[in-house]
Amino acid sequence: MSGGEGTIVQFDNVGLRYGTEREVLSDVSFTLYPGSFYFLTGASGAGKTSLLRLLYLAQRPSRGVIRMFGTDVITVPRQALPAFRRRIGVVFQDFRLVPHLSAFDNVALPLRVSGVPESEIRKPVADMLDWVGLEQRHDARPATLSGGEQQRVAIARAVIARPEILVADEPTGNVDPDLALKLLRLFEALNRLGTTVVVATHDVHLLKKVPDSLIMRLDRGRLSDPTGALRYPPRREVAGS
């Protein structure tokens, strides 16, 4: 895979193993295009979370090349990684909210980390919490929130800084179907604003809810391309031309 013009993420023959175990990801190659919407599917243990960890720079691969925003992120010094991470929003499967911070402060965290003045934080964070239906729970600690509420806080935190890439690991796993649909609509809205969205899910019904989405399927650490998402140019562009 060469080039990189017009791409936001490129994986080239990426492999990942933990310790001396067998590879959990093997020869993974794909390209993500700006403004696209991707579903990453696969059975439990297929390597979805591992792939996402590589995408949100929580892990370096054992081999291969990963380019993000035009830069080889494998070889950049670790001091340079925060600048890349601030361009990526992440919804973790286990939410990973900071337990002693309120819902408001959890959502405000990416803005504070990015150095946004306090006077410019209050309103967007409050609006975002209202928007995900947590208008009454601004001051609630994660432990007092239900699973669905925690998930909504996690999603609000992931999107508050309007990332260029949004990576979501099973973001609708703990919410009812109505809320799952609303959250998908939020991701779509973000996608329309230019954010590249990658949603890992094993819920096949969800895939049909976003008609313009592309699907990547992981099977025992290897990527398959059922919709031509990984082709160059991707299927959608061929279809549109």
Partner 1 sequence: MNAAPSPIRRNIPRFAGSDRPGIMPQSRLAGPMPWVIGIMMALTVIAAGAGLALRNLAENARAEIAGGLTVQILEGGPAERARQAEVAVAVLSNREDVAEVRRVPDTEVEALLEPWLGEQDVPEEDAIAVPALIDVRLAGPVTPRRLDELRAALAAPAPSARVDAQAGWLAPVFDAIRSLQWLALGLVGLLAATTAAAVWLAARSALGSNRETVEIIHLLGGTDGQIARIFQRSIGLDAALGGFAGLALGLATILLLGRQFARLGSGMVAGGSFGAFDWAVLAAMPLLGIVLAMLTARLTVLSALRRML
- Footprint of partner 1 (CB under 8 A): 56-60, 78-79, 81-83, 85-86, 90, 96, 98-101, 105, 109-118, 120, 123-128, 131-133, 157, 159-162, 182, 185-186, 189-190, 192-193
Residue closer to partner 1 by CB (options 73, 206) is: 73
Give the integer Cα–Cα distance in Å for 40 and 168. Answer: 10
* Cα separation of the two ends of the chain: 22
Shortest Cβ distance from residue 186 to partner 1 (Å)? 6
Residue closer to partner 1 by CB (options 86, 222) is: 86
Shortest Cβ distance from residue 163 to partner 1 (Å)? 9
132 and 180 in contact (C-beta within 8 Å)? no
Give the integer Cα–Cα distance in Å for 12 and 123. Answer: 41
Residue closer to partner 1 by CB (options 158, 215) is: 158
Shortest Cβ distance from residue 5 to partner 1 (Å)? 24
- Token pair for 150: 């925690």
Residue closer to partner 1 by CB (options 44, 79) is: 79
Shortest Cβ distance from residue 76 to partner 1 (Å)? 12
Shortest Cβ distance from residue 158 to partner 1 (Å)? 9
Residue closer to partner 1 by CB (options 141, 202) is: 141
Q: Which of 173, 196, 198 is nearest to 40 (CA)?
A: 198
> Which residues have a Cβ under 8 Å from the Cβ of 28 and sit 6 or more positions away?
11, 13, 14, 15, 51, 64, 221, 222, 223
**Is residue 118 packed enough to be buried (19+ CB in 10 Å), middle (13-18) or exposed (0-12)?**
exposed
